[in-house]
Structure 1
Amino acid sequence: MKTVFKITLLAGMAFSVTSCFNKREPNYQYMPNMYESTAYETYSESPSFKRGGVEAQLPAPGTIKRGYTPYEIPNTTEGYNFSKTVSTSPLDSTEVDMEKAKGLFDIYCAICHGTAGDGKGKLVKQEKFLGVPSYKDRVVSIGSVYHVQTYGLNSMGSYANQLSQKERWMVAAYVMKLKSELK
């Protein structure tokens, strides 16, 4: 009798579990919002923020990123002339890696200025750019070289997006080294 009862109970449970299955409709899902999440367009406004916009994703006014030092000299002719009076780098002599600075100069600057800083780079030899000055002919300081790398000057564009502040100061120190070797 116990065996018949157990078999009947087991068959009844199997029937009740399988009877809920329907091939035409999806089954029950444990966490439906994970299976069928809401699709969002990349960079679109999100309802997660207060006014539905992206203003909550912007940094607070007046903040600067960690490790960034503001450069206070403006991008004007007066600012460039003032940068010529800056004769020292904020980096210690131990922080300036001349091998890395040479590599950065070769990548970003030597194509126009030449590896020796004589203004005879590959693009100048191919006459793609004309009038690239030699460093020995220019009145430059480490501050003016950094200023020109940061903002650009004449045909030379800014390298602020490609080089960090430290790297720009290192390249400026390397340019001053090249200038002293050209005399």
Structure 2
Amino acid sequence: MKSLYKIALLVCLSAVVTSCFDKSKPNYQYFPNMYESVGYETYSESKAFANGKEGQLPAEGSIPRGFEPYDYPNTTEGYNAAKANSKSPLDSLSYDAPKAAALFTVYCAICHGDKGDGKGKLVQREKFLGVPSYADRDITVGSVFHVATYGLNAMGSHANQLNAHERWQVATYVMELKGKL
């Protein structure tokens, strides 16, 4: 008889527990936003921003973290001014000749050659013609940095590949190559 009561109690208890269960929507959710998140459309209007329509713009005059401003514009006048006035901020302790040589080999030697004579692999294979030798050019460390920053003629900018410190290292190394030629 006791076992019959235990079985009846177990059936009643399971009926009570399962009668309120709904598989499509559980009764209690821990962090309900994780299960039923609010969907936002990309580029839609939102009250999260001050103007209610588009994302926040950076403050006027602000610069990205780690950005080093360069005062010379990407013009012929800017090139001439950088050539005449720009000096390398590197001293003898911060200039790393092996690293500068490695950077030159990776980014510059393919066109300019390992010696700076304008006979790199792409010139030898006639992919680019007219790459000048450093011996034939009237260049300064400032003009080399300016050209590495903005590019000139067929040469593109290397500002995305090299940070300012690395561009100064390469410019100093180019002046060493020019001295050897």
TM range (shorter): 0.7 to 0.9
**Closer, same or farther: CA 155–50 of 1 in aligned 2, 3 Å:** same
Residue of structure 2 in register with 1:158 after alignment: 157
- Displacement after TM superposition at 1:66 (Å): 3.1
Residue of structure 1 in register with 2:35 after alignment: 35
State how far apart, in whole Å, the 1-side matches of 2:67 and 2:92 are: 20
State how far apart, in whole Å, the 1-side matches of 2:113 and 2:78 are: 27
State how far apart, in whole Å, the 2-side matches of 1:135 and 1:40 are: 56
Residue of structure 2 in register with 1:92 after alignment: 91
Match for 1:109: what amino acid?
C
1:116 aligns with 2:111: no
1:173 aligns with 2:172: yes
May I ask how many residue pairs the two structures share in their alignment? 179
Is contact 1:75-1:151 (8 Å) kept?
Answer: yes
Question: Which runs of 5 or more residues in structure 2 are unaligned?
Answer: none
State how far apart, in whole Å, the 1-side matches of 2:10 and 2:27 are: 23
Question: Which runs of 5 or more residues in structure 1 are unaligned?
Answer: none
RMSD after superposition: 2.6
Residue of structure 2 in register with 1:51 after alignment: 51
State how far apart, in whole Å, the 1-side matches of 2:50 and 2:161 are: 35
Is contact 2:104-2:170 (8 Å) kept?
Answer: yes
Is contact 1:86-1:144 (8 Å) kept?
Answer: no
Match for 2:38: what amino acid?
T
- Displacement after TM superposition at 1:70 (Å): 1.2
- Displacement after TM superposition at 1:111 (Å): 0.7
Q: Percent identity?
A: 59
Is contact 2:21-2:27 (8 Å) kept?
Answer: no
Match for 1:36: what amino acid?
E
- Displacement after TM superposition at 1:52 (Å): 3.2
State how far apart, in whole Å, the 2-side matches of 1:109 and 1:29 are: 64
**Closer, same or farther: CA 41–156 of 1 in aligned 2, 3 Å:** farther
State how far apart, in whole Å, the 2-side matches of 1:71 and 1:176 are: 20
Match for 1:86: what amino acid?
N
TM-score by length of 2: 0.85
Is contact 1:149-1:159 (8 Å) kept?
Answer: yes
